[in-house]
């Protein structure tokens, strides 16, 4: 019957040492993660942790079936990780099975199962997963060191150490098996199908030499295993625990809403100025990162050479956090990276190293620069791609909040924005009383002039851009034409509408946001709208997902959804295409990633234009136009222009222009086509204009 002698060629002393080492490993693991846990608990309260079942399901799905890891564009990386992960897990279970046989079943129950058919299957399976483990590791070596991806242009020692130890463990595992098979001339050798060819090669060697080599390999395998387990809590391998933990803890409420500062007028301290100002879940984020760099792939600032690189921000604050907690921050931290490698981004060597960052005095200024904080467009590409759901955007907004509400330190352009929002209820210097001027010309009525507002089907929330900006007034006029053509009874708030507060909130001015939001909520509540349609995704997101925090619950749709609905129900006769050549569709971040409205605008394009060009970076992998996060009101001084990057992508296709569904995108791209000198041949149109043209 096929089996093997457990502990062949291993002395009693070695066995005792092994058990001692296992105990040491367990203790070090427990100690390391306890220290991390205690570091997190220095943060402010977070919770309650509701929907435990759903959270658990998601955490397990990420860990075991690699949801979020294997997805379009990441098949190689996803499979690579899957092989390493399942190799690791199955080999670990394999070891436990041997322990079960040797230390429990046989000594206590006089029973043995590690033989016969079970043994055959066991060996076939273990060899398979050992091989997958090695394949995964080699794929990882290729990806990090040979594929020359920009995001892996620099690596930390940590990356090499982790791959080195794992490769060593995998190889010595097979070597051990081959040495034993050869030295004992095991008859069942062929079922060890990966180690078997190697054992054949060793068959000519003197058995005593084989036994000696086996003993040396056994010890080195054992010590490498100890090194690995001791290394886990202080390296990126901590993500084995922190990754799923972070997924479990993620914000589940209204996924697109920023956290509300309650009773803001009674607070003494605002946002985050130092580590302890983060809530403890936010601190977990910094330990969950394993530096895969997916946050960079669709990041508008990384891809246009700006200081903000989300991975770097997380890694640096993580090193700073662990160093300050007195923990060895891992080779990602101060000790090994003194060669001047800052994170692993495209940075010049003269930038401060992680060592300096970890010893820095202040979170804002020393670890994270103010430029980094103000660069963010809050487009959510990093959060959408992060396999372990690190929530970058709220971290950045929390630090902006401190700069604005407490320190009054922010780009000069925002002073103008805030003053205008305060005084005029819009980001510009237009008096609030001129807000509905466009509507008079378009024949759209204001709610205050409607005799019985309850007869209205929808209130059209116009937003500042379409109310004041001449280019976007054409979008509002187009939407009004569509609603009229479909026989929808609607009106606008007009002079009673003010900025939704989105740019103030994203820029960190939570107080100004709440003032604007409360005014708007009171107005809307007064009219009890059946439905609100917004043509600006920023307004749409704020009204839909953020006003409920302040007691304003309304049914809000985006104009792309309403237009699709009107066409589907037959109220709007399907408009005719008026254009030769297809346009590309660009996903606005606050419509797509923030609210998962990917299909409605595409459906509208299909009905009206008979199709559209799908851009290479689309849907959840869409690329920002550069306007979000109040960036539309700041100058873009660093790096190249985000809007040009996106436009060049669209121009590179066969598309005759770009269709959007957001006034900010319209403005960014209109400016862009002029700057790139393509305005004659490359159109920028909102989908409402496209539909209205065909009526």
Applying CB under 8 A, the residues found at the interface with other proteins are 264-265, 267-268, 270, 404-408, 410, 412, 414-415, 418-420, 423-425, 429-434, 495, 511
The residue among 408 and 454 lying less far from other proteins, judged by its C-beta, is 408
The residue among 437 and 670 lying less far from other proteins, judged by its C-beta, is 437
The residue among 65 and 415 lying less far from other proteins, judged by its C-beta, is 415
Tally of CB atoms within 10 A around 330? 27
CA distance 195 to 171: 10
Q: What are the b/e assignments for 203-237, b being 16+ CB within 10 Å? A: eeeeeeebeebbeebbeebbebbbbbbbbbbbbbb
In the bound complex, what is the minimum distance in angstroms from residue 694's beta carbon to other proteins? Answer: 36
φ, ψ (nearest 5 deg) of residue 532: -120, 130
Q: How far is CA 22 from the centre of its chain?
A: 36
CA distance 220 to 212: 13
**Calculated CA dihedral for residues 345, 351, 355, 359, nearest 10 degrees:** -120
φ, ψ (nearest 5 deg) of residue 405: -80, -30
Structure tokens at 644: 């040009």
Task: Tell me whether residue 678 is exposed, middle or buried, using C-beta atoms within 10 angstroms of its C-beta: 0 to 12, 13 to 18, 19 or more.
Answer: middle
Closest Cα partner for 293 from 386, 158, 161? Answer: 386
In the bound complex, what is the minimum distance in angstroms from residue 637's beta carbon to other proteins? Answer: 16
Closest Cα partner for 396 from 321, 313, 520, 514? Answer: 313
The residue among 418 and 585 lying less far from other proteins, judged by its C-beta, is 418
User: Could you give the angle at which helices 510-527 and 412-424 cross, rounded to 10 degrees?
Assistant: 30
Strands 556-558 and 613-614, bridge-based pairing: unpaired
The residue among 251 and 264 lying less far from other proteins, judged by its C-beta, is 264
The residue among 157 and 267 lying less far from other proteins, judged by its C-beta, is 267
**Edge-to-edge, what's the strand order for the sheet holding 458-461?**
490-492, 458-461, 532-534, 556-558
The residue among 504 and 591 lying less far from other proteins, judged by its C-beta, is 504
The residue among 439 and 566 lying less far from other proteins, judged by its C-beta, is 439
Torsion sign (Cα): 464, 466, 468, 471: positive
The residue among 34 and 434 lying less far from other proteins, judged by its C-beta, is 434
Q: What is the largest CA-CA distance in the chain?
A: 103
The residue among 13 and 470 lying less far from other proteins, judged by its C-beta, is 470
The residue among 508 and 629 lying less far from other proteins, judged by its C-beta, is 508
**CB within 8 Å of 427: residues ≥ 6 apart:** 417, 420, 421, 464, 499, 503, 633
In the bound complex, what is the minimum distance in angstroms from residue 409's beta carbon to other proteins? Answer: 9
CA distance 517 to 527: 16
**CB within 8 Å of 366: residues ≥ 6 apart:** 357, 360
φ, ψ (nearest 5 deg) of residue 489: -80, 115
């Amino acid at each position: 019957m096929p089996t093997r002698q457990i502990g062949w060629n291993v002395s009693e002393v070695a066995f005792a040492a092994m058990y001692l080492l296992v105990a040491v490993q367990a203790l070090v693991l427990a100690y390391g993660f306890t220290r991390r846990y205690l570091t997190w608990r220095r943060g402010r309260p977070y919770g309650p942790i509701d929907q435990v079942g759903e959270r658990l399901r998601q955490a397990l799905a990420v860990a075991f079936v690699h949801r979020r890891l294997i997805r379009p564009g990441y098949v190689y990386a996803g499979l690579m990780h899957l092989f390493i992960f399942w190799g690791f897990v199955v080999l670990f279970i394999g070891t436990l099975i041997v322990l079960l046989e040797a230390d429990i079943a046989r000594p206590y129950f006089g029973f043995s199962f590690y033989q016969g058919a079970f043994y055959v299957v066991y060996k076939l399976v273990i060899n398979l997963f050992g091989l997958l483990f090695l394949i995964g590791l080699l794929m990882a070596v290729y990806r990090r060191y040979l594929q020359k991806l920009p995001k892996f242009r620099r690596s930390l020692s940590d990356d090499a150490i982790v791959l080195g130890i794992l490769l060593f463990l995998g190889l010595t595992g097979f070597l051990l098996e081959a040495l034993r098979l050869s030295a004992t001339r095991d008859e069942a050798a062929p079922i060890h199908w990966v180690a078997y060819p190697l054992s054949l090669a060793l068959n000519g060697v003197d058995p005593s030499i084989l036994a000696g080599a086996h003993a040396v390999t056994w010890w080195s395998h054992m010590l490498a295993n100890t090194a690995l387990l001791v290394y886990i809590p202080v390296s990126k391998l901590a993500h084995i625990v922190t990754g799923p933990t972070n997924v479990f803890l993620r914000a589940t409420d209204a996924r697109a809403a920023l956290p509300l500062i309650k009773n803001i007028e009674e607070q003494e301290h605002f946002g985050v100025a130092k580590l302890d100002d983060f809530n403890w879940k936010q601190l977990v984020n910094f330990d969950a990162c394993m530096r895969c760099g997916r946050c960079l792939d669709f990041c508008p600032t990384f891809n246009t050479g700006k200081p903000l690189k989300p991975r770097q921000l997380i890694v640096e604050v993580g090193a700073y956090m662990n160093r300050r907690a007195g923990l060895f921050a891992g080779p990602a931290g101060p000790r090994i990276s003194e060669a001047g490698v800052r994170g692993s981004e495209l940075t010049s060597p003269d930038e401060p190293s992680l060592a300096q960052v970890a010893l820095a005095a202040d979170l804002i200024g020393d670890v994270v620069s103010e430029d980094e904080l103000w660069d963010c467009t809050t487009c959510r590409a990093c959060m959408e791609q992060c396999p372990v759901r690190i929530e970058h955007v709220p971290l950045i907004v929390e630090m902006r909040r401190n700069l604005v509400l407490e320190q009054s330190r922010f780009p000069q352009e925002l002073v103008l924005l805030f003053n205008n929002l305060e005084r005029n209820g819009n980001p510009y210097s237009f008096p609030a009383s001129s807000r509905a001027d466009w509507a008079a010309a378009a024949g759209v009525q204001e709610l205050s002039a409607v005799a019985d507002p309850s007869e209205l089907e929808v209130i059209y929330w116009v937003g500042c851009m379409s109310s004041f900006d001449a280019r976007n007034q054409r979008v509002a006029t187009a939407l009004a034409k569509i609603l009229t053509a479909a026989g929808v009874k609607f009106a606008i708030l007009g002079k009673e509408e003010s900025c939704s507060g989105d740019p103030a909130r994203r820029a960190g001015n939570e107080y100004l946001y709440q003032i604007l939001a409360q005014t708007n909520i009171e107005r809307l509540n007064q009219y009890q709208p059946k439905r609100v349609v917004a043509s600006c995704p920023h307004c749409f997101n704020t009204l839909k997902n953020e006003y409920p925090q302040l007691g304003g619950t309304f049914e809000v749709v985006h104009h792309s959804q309403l237009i699709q609905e009107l066409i589907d129900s037959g109220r709007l006769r399907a408009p005719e295409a008026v254009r030769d050549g297809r346009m590309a569709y660009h996903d606005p971040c606050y419509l797509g990633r923030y609210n998962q409205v990917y299909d409605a605008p595409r459906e509208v394009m299909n009905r009206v234009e008979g199709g559209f060009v799908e851009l290479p970076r689309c849907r959840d992998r869409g690329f920002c136009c550069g306007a979000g996060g109040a960036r539309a009101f700041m100058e873009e001084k660093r790096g190249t222009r985000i809007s040009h990057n996106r436009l060049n992508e669209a121009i590179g296709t066969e598309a005759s222009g770009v269709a959007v569904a957001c006034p900010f995108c319209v403005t960014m791209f209109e400016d862009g086509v002029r700057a790139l000198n393509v305005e004659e041949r490359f159109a920028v149109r909102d989908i409402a204009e496209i539909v209205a043209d065909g009526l």
